[in-house]
Structure 1
Amino acid sequence: MAAFITSTPSLEQQWAYYARYIDFMLREPASQPYLDLRFLIDHKDYFILSTNVDTQVEKTFPAERTCNYQGSFVHLQCKQPCCDELFDASPYVERMLAGMAGFEVRSEDVPRCPHCGWQLVPWVRDDTFLEGSAWHEGVERYENFVRERRDSRLLFLELSVGEMTPGIITLPFWSMTAKMPNAHLLSVNISGDSAPLQLGSKAEAIRADLGALLSAARTGGE
């Protein structure tokens, strides 16, 4: 038998991790699969609904064509939250990194809400997630896009969607495909190739590495 003793990291240590993690994501350029996808759909009438929070969507597609349903590490929010406001993470991260000693940020550099003084946290889905005006505007853009085209030919592309939150993309896409007369669903996933049987010929599934598939499709289109 063994006994393990652990301690909770201090706020300064937590933010040392977050600062480096967020800095990496902010500095990382748009990856090739995102660029390939943009190349393939840029001439189309499209909308991106994303559950990724890694800033790649913002680097690749215009804001008016996207909805970051789970938030993004681009922004911070008040942990309470006391206000309907998002804060650019970049200046906070730069300050923390500049003053970091070892693996702790200075206490005075821990991000604080300018309105109430409480801690700021990354604007990503958890039990304090701010579903404020920015979030509602993104959801409204998405819903309006679909509603205005419900009688047109629509292709719902479900790209590498996991099973953690099926109620955001997977199940709504199935439902809309079933209800809209000219809608079709295509899912691409490395771990499965089964289309929902209830959709019949309105749905297809491809088991493939998405990056390789998009690269091949772009090469064939150039």
Structure 2
Amino acid sequence: MTSYEQLVIELTHRSFSHQAAYRNGGTPYDLSDCNPVPYGQQIETFTRMIEEADCVLVGGASGLSAAGGGDFYYEDNATYRKHFGKFAERYGFRGAFEGSFYRWPTAEARWGYLATFLDTTLNAPLREPYKDLDAILAEKDFFVLTTNQDTQFMKIYPWEKVAEIQGDHRFFQCSRCCTDEVWDAIEPVSRMVEAMGDGLVVPTELVPRCPHCGAEAFPWVRGYGNFLQGELYEEQYCKVSDWLDVHAQQKILFLELGVGRITPAFIQEPFWALTAQLPQASYIAVNNKTRFLPRAIEGRGMAIRADIADVLVDVRKTLGR
């Protein structure tokens, strides 16, 4: 087990005794009570911290994609209706994730929905906040850790620069985990969507199945089913752990973008712990809903409560990129 995975497991176990705090949108950590400085000063500080850092570990979560238009997961909004309108009308879903946990009557109906979901993310253009973040990181040694499964980071960075610890919409796995293999989802998803047309179900022969045991396949993502924590999963933790080992003695900036309250133990809380442990580390969080900065790192950190897209645009402009 790698060092970062071990940290995640320890923090996840610790969180079990504080579920009430998380359910209420909070955190059990002792937070700084310092008043935030004006927004313009926050942008200047963000810019200075980027320039002074030797390297940056980005923690990109759902709020980053939502800031660029990927806001259909939990909301019944115009974006959701554009891509999932026929399912909303038929089943009354109020966000994409509702359909992911629905008890579908048949595999054909389930894959009508899942194929639509995967096709929506796989074919989404690179969102503006990702472009702005890339410009901000242009002159830095950096690595990306993400809980997003929507492949946005993979549209811009090579495999070795990104750790996807919650899975990736581009891959299928066996729902029974009979094999450690994952395989391509892009082509099967395209075929299902084309065959479905304006309907809600896919043909029986297109329901994806495991090439080894014949069981129904599933997207290789945590949350849909029996998530395969095999070789590919361990590779993701190896990438981020190895990067941290190499850069531990440098001035690392931990940059957290859009972490919500569902899985703070994957990015947010490890970033807090590592900032406290590493003497030259610093920390920035940007979130449009919370401003969480632990008291233990308030002298080396900053939390900005604002729209992530706006913040990244303003930092990019301040950097002159």
Alpha-carbon distance between aligned partners in 1 of 2:163 and 2:155, rounded to the nearest angstrom? 13
Structure-to-structure mapping, 1:104-115, within 5 angstroms:
104-115=201-212
What letter corresponds to residue 157 of structure 1 in structure 2? Answer: L
TM-score by length of 2: 0.65
Who is 2:269 aligned against? 171
Alignment check: 8 A CA contact 1:38 1:61 kept: no
Alpha-carbon distance between aligned partners in 2 of 1:157 and 1:19, rounded to the nearest angstrom? 33
Alpha-carbon distance between aligned partners in 2 of 1:140 and 1:87, rounded to the nearest angstrom? 21
What letter corresponds to residue 117 of structure 1 in structure 2? Answer: G
Alpha-carbon distance between aligned partners in 2 of 1:98 and 1:166, rounded to the nearest angstrom? 37
Who is 1:52 aligned against? 148
- 1:34 aligned to which of 121, 130, 147: 130
Cα distance, 1:32 vs structure 2 = 0.5
Who is 2:219 aligned against? 122
Q: Please, which runs of 5 or more residues in structure 2 have no aligned partner?
A: 1-101
Q: Please, which runs of 5 or more residues in structure 1 have no aligned partner?
A: 1-5
Alpha-carbon distance between aligned partners in 1 of 2:292 and 2:112, rounded to the nearest angstrom? 43
Q: RMSD of the TM alignment (CA)?
A: 1.6
Structure-to-structure mapping, 1:62-101, within 5 angstroms:
62-100=158-196
Alpha-carbon distance between aligned partners in 1 of 2:108 and 2:286, rounded to the nearest angstrom? 41
Cα distance, 1:202 vs structure 2 = 1.5
Per-residue deviation, residues 120-156 of structure 1 (Å, max 9, x unmatched): 1011103510111111111101001111111110100
Alpha-carbon distance between aligned partners in 1 of 2:226 and 2:103, rounded to the nearest angstrom? 24
Matched position secondary structure for 1:54: coil
Alpha-carbon distance between aligned partners in 2 of 1:7 and 1:153, rounded to the nearest angstrom? 48
Alignment check: 8 A CA contact 1:113 1:120 kept: yes
> Does the alignment pair 1:200 with 2:291?
no
Per-residue deviation, residues 168-211 of structure 1 (Å, max 9, x unmatched): 11111111111101001111111122310011302211111101
Alpha-carbon distance between aligned partners in 2 of 1:170 and 1:69, rounded to the nearest angstrom? 14
Alignment check: 8 A CA contact 2:104 2:110 kept: no
Q: 1:185 to 1:87 in 2, by over 3 A?
A: same
Alpha-carbon distance between aligned partners in 2 of 1:197 and 1:47, rounded to the nearest angstrom? 26
> Does the alignment pair 1:144 with 2:239?
no
Alpha-carbon distance between aligned partners in 1 of 2:311 and 2:172, rounded to the nearest angstrom? 34
Who is 2:117 aligned against? 21
Q: 1:69 to 1:11 in 2, by over 3 A?
A: same
**Aligned residue pairs: how many?**
217
Matched position secondary structure for 2:187: helix
Cα distance, 1:7 vs structure 2 = 7.6
- 2:311 aligned to which of 209, 213, 216: 213
Cα distance, 1:43 vs structure 2 = 2.1
- 1:134 aligned to which of 210, 229, 232: 232
Q: 1:72 to 1:186 in 2, by over 3 A?
A: same
Q: % of aligned pairs identical?
A: 39
Per-residue deviation, residues 60-83 of structure 1 (Å, max 9, x unmatched): 222111111110111111101111
Runs of 4+ off more than 3 Å? none
Q: 1:7 to 1:19 in 2, by over 3 A?
A: closer
Alpha-carbon distance between aligned partners in 1 of 2:179 and 2:294, rounded to the nearest angstrom? 42
By percentage of residues, which structure has more helix? 2
Alpha-carbon distance between aligned partners in 2 of 1:10 and 1:187, rounded to the nearest angstrom? 42
Alpha-carbon distance between aligned partners in 1 of 2:217 and 2:126, rounded to the nearest angstrom? 26
What letter corresponds to residue 53 of structure 1 in structure 2? Answer: Q
